Amino acid sequence: MDEFAQNIYTNLYYVPKGRVITYGQLATLAGFPNHSRHVGKVLSQLPKETQLPWYRVVNAQGKISLQGGRFERQKQLLEEENILIKDNGSVSNFKQVVMP
């Protein structure tokens, strides 16, 4: 595993329950600002049974970027943590739940 992926996984592990982080914030925390697209690629390669909270990562507009069944799965997991998702896929209280 390369340094970038390891840093993403490590920082993702610490995103608390009931909070979300953007791809860009996660990249910055990992020491790679301006690499938000790469974060998405790394997360897409996680094994299905991962314990990492991949579903806590949203785009800069506070929306779920995934589509289809993956969208529904992410929405379900976020709602289980009391993060409300609007019909358009955005986190309803984004400013309150986003990581600083």
In contact, 54 and 12? CB cutoff 8 Å: yes
- Decide which of 98 and 21 is more confident: 21
Total structural domains within the chain = 1
What range does the domain containing 17 cover? 3-97
Average confidence (pLDDT) over 31-59 = 96
Point out which residues pair with 85 in neighbouring strands: 91
In the prediction, which pLDDT does 26 show? 96
Average pLDDT in the chain? 94
Domain of residue 68, CATH code: 1.10.10.10
Model confidence at 64, pLDDT cuts 50, 70, 90, reads very high
Instruction: For residue 38, give the 3-state DSSP assignment.
Output: helix
Q: Whole-model pTM?
A: 0.93
In the prediction, which pLDDT does 98 show? 84
Long-range contacts of the stretch 85-89 (C-beta < 8 A, 24+): 88/63, 89/63, 89/64
Model confidence at 1, pLDDT cuts 50, 70, 90, reads low
